[in-house]
Structure 1
Amino acid sequence: MVTAPPVIDFGPFYGDDAAKKADLVQQVRQACERHGFFQIINHRIPSDIQEAILQQAREIFGLPLEVKEKYSREIDPVNLGYERLRAQSFGEGPGDLKESFYLCRDFPPGHPLIGRFSLGLNKYPKEMRDLALFQSTANRYHTVMADLAVDIFRVLAQTLNLEEHWFDSFCHDSANIMRLLRYPPQPANGLERGIGAHTDFGGLTILLQDDKGGLQVWDRESSQWADANPVPGALVVNLGNMLMRWTNDRYLSNLHRVINTSGQERYSVPFFISGNLDYLVECIPSCKAATEEAKYPPITVEEWLEARYADTYGGAGVGELSTDVVEAHVMTRS
């Protein structure tokens, strides 16, 4: 039987009920081991900012192609800005049926993080109907999602029998990237992919999706794709390859894809949490026995990201790893 990623009530994290908090930790632990994916409700991200960022995505992709191309992510080396339709390809075919726009945290000129992995000065299309609104909405969304990421990592710490704040230094000055995505309607021939099967290569991804559906997650036990159907107000959380490595493969970074069969345009906003670029990722102590060797050597976040990006650029983008690189590794864990 195909099992979809669970929907988990995150509200107990903000409450005082110890039993409900413990149940939340247990549910997240099971989801990390079984799926590498889960959806959360009652996460305190206001519905108005969710709808506002989706509306800005609709507007930016409604600009003429020649305007969007002026803000192409290929113009400078930090990979921010517009990515044209079919620029990525996860698998065979003409390229994935989507277009995107990358944004990082809004840095002031001269900030020391500018120029490091996928961080720099954002490109804000002056042709937007309300440029100030676009900029403020993107920045507000970045802020609230970064805060939520800290909360999720505090639950993850407890799932690994760590002190709640164990991941805080990893999250400080995290190299977070937001990606606005538009998926056109797909022909009903079964050959197209909005985005082909892949894993994310950072620490954690928090995804806002509209109500059109199309996200599928690989269910290892049934060896079939499971639909992660949209739940009103919910956010999808999935683990990346760096966290899988960090936990000595205890937790799963799972394959997922999008097939937009809704007959309408689909919009989503993944928020990639990669961590502090200087942070040293080495096997979490609770993820191996005292006499056991770690499967992977220590590596800094920036070294990991740059190596993965070098492996996948041309077929995958910031925060994603293509099927041909990781599928065998992921599937052998079933």
Structure 2
Amino acid sequence: MLDTQSAQVPTLSLADQERDPDGFAAAFGSSFERFGFAIVADHGVPQDLIDRAWAETQALFALPEDEKRGYHAPGGGGARGYTPFKTEIAKGASAVDLKEFWHVGRELAAGHRFADVMAPNVWPQRPEEFRDTFIELFAAFDRAGDRLLSAIARHLGLAPDWFDPAVKDGNSVLRLLHYPPIPVDAEGVRAGAHEDINLITLLLGAEEAGLELLDRTNDRWLAIKPPEGAMVVNVGDMLQRLTNHVLPSTTHRVVNPPPERRGHSRYSMPFFLHPAPDFLIETLPQTITAENPNRYPTPITAHDYLHERLVEIGLIKK
């Protein structure tokens, strides 16, 4: 595990999109087709905001266990607030993940039409700046995600704004992840092999070693090592389904560190970009060919698909 080969996932600059939107879309889409992943620098999320978010994240997880558990809602599917250590399990895995996390969702106005399916946020009393910091960061991730979805649309031959109505008021989730120090003989890994549920994931914090993707061409695990400050972006199962696997959702995991790093915590911040709950995931016609027939003839709403998957990973009990 410790000598895993590094993946040759290209690092792209989102700043190139304005100068050459078609060129950026082609490079971004090609990386997705090959790896299901891309690395994006110059993503536009301000570094001072990111630095504040890391400080708030560390302060949050340093709170006493009883205080954190006061923000956990059993039976809520982990949609908002705190999910304790060793709760989530990868689909098909035998050991639970060695992590705890906090979910921040979209702030909805009172009486919003999605209020019955998108839970209100849970805000801790401390750290004091937590709410303001993560409302601001959520919005910054939203803006970066819109730009990346525009590139995906171009790559697929769609209008650049095709995804705009799909993700307006989308059920996106910002996850603050803490992988605590672990003993050398720990059972399981920090995050078992899995695919993401959503359209795309935008991840900060992958500079610390551990993230690996499974190369479909040879079934080998490849380490992802982005430059400092760059964002790792990957395809989720909803986008894979929408594109009839033209853009594949790649299996990935977070492995345990070498013994000399096991006494250190690992933090990361994935933003799971979701469509609106009523968005119908229906195979795009241009992705259906004789060689690639429609794998999903029956459409499904984003809300129903999300519920199915949360049951599979143990966050919602049947």
TM-score by structure 2 length?
Answer: 0.89
2: distance between equivalents of 1:188 and 1:8?
Answer: 36
SS at match of 1:205: strand
1:266 aligns with 2:262: no
Whether 1:275 and 2:271 are equivalent positions in the alignment is no
What code does the residue aligned with 1:12 have?
D
2:136 matches 1:140: yes
In the TM superposition, 1:291-306 aligns within 5 A as 294-296=294-296, 297-306=298-307
Measured against aligned partners, the alpha-carbon deviations of 1:13-40 in whole angstroms (never above 9, x if no partner) come to 123xx4xx33322211211111111110
Matches within 5 A, 1:160-171: 160-171=156-167
Matched, 1:205 2:201: yes
The alpha-carbon distance between structure 1 residues 290 and 235, as it changes in their structure 2 partners (threshold 3 A), is same
Q: Following superposition of structure 1 onto structure 2, how do residues 39-54 of structure 1 map, counting pairs within 5 Å?
A: 39-54=39-54
Cα shift at 1:157: 0.6
Matched AA of 2:10 = P
Q: Quote the offset at 1:190 in angstroms.
A: 7.8
Aligned equivalents of 1:106, 1:225: Cα separation in 2: 38
Aligned to 2:13: 9
Q: How does 1:188-227 map to 2 (within 5 A)?
A: 188-189=184-185, 192-209=188-205, 211-227=207-223
**Residues 129-159 of structure 1: CA deviation (Å, up to 9, x unaligned):** 32xx110111001111111111111000111
CA distance in 1, matches of 2:76, 2:137: 24
CA distance in 2, matches of 1:43, 1:24: 13
**Distance (Å, rounded) in 2 between the aligned partners of 1:185 and 1:272:** 25
Give the deviation of 1:307 after TM superposition: 2.4
Question: In the alignment, which residue of structure 1 is the partner of 2:97?
Answer: 96
Equivalent in the alignment of 2:230: 234
CA distance in 2, matches of 1:46, 1:120: 28
Residues 228 and 289 of structure 1, relative CA distance in 2, 3 Å threshold: same
Q: Percent identity?
A: 29
Question: Which secondary structure state, in structure 2, belongs to the residue aligned with residue 136 of structure 1?
Answer: helix
1:6 deviates by: 2.2
Matched with 2:288 is 288
Q: Which runs of 5+ in 1 are unaligned?
A: 318-334
CA distance in structure 1 between the partners assigned to 2:240 and 2:86 by the alignment: 29
Deviation, structure 1 residue 170: 0.8
Aligned residue for 1:174, secondary structure, equals coil
Instruction: Please list the CA deviations of residues 183-224 of structure 1 after superposition, one character each: whole Å capped at 9, or x if unmatched.
Output: 123334585311100001111111111642211111122321
Query: Pick from 223, 232, 242: which aligns with 1:246?
Result: 242
| Residues 53 and 73 (structure 1), Cα distance of their counterparts in 2 relative to 1, 3 Å cut | farther
* Farther off after superposition, 47-56 or 193-202: 47-56
Residues matched between the structures, number: 305
Paired amino acid for 2:94: E
Change in CA separation of 1:292 and 1:58 when aligned onto 2, cut-off 3 Å: closer
Structure 2: runs of 5+ lacking an equivalent = none
The Cα offsets for residues 96-119 of structure 1, whole Å up to 9 and x where unpaired, read as 111001111123443332230xx2
TM-score of the aligned structures, taking structure 1 as reference length: 0.85
1:103-182 alignment, distance < 5 Å? 103-116=104-117, 119-126=118-125, 128-130=126-128, 133-182=129-178
Per the TM alignment, residue 285 of structure 1 is displaced from its structure 2 partner at its CA by 2.4
Give the aligned partner of residue 71 of structure 1: 71
RMSD after superposition? 2.2
* TM-aligned CA distance change 1:237 to 1:204, over 3 Å: same
Tell me which stretches of 4 or more aligned residues in structure 1 moved more than 6 Å. Answer: none
Between 217-226 and 145-154, the greater mean CA deviation after superposition: 217-226
Question: What is the SS of the residue equivalent to 2:143?
Answer: helix
Report the Cα offset of residue 270 of structure 1. Answer: 0.9
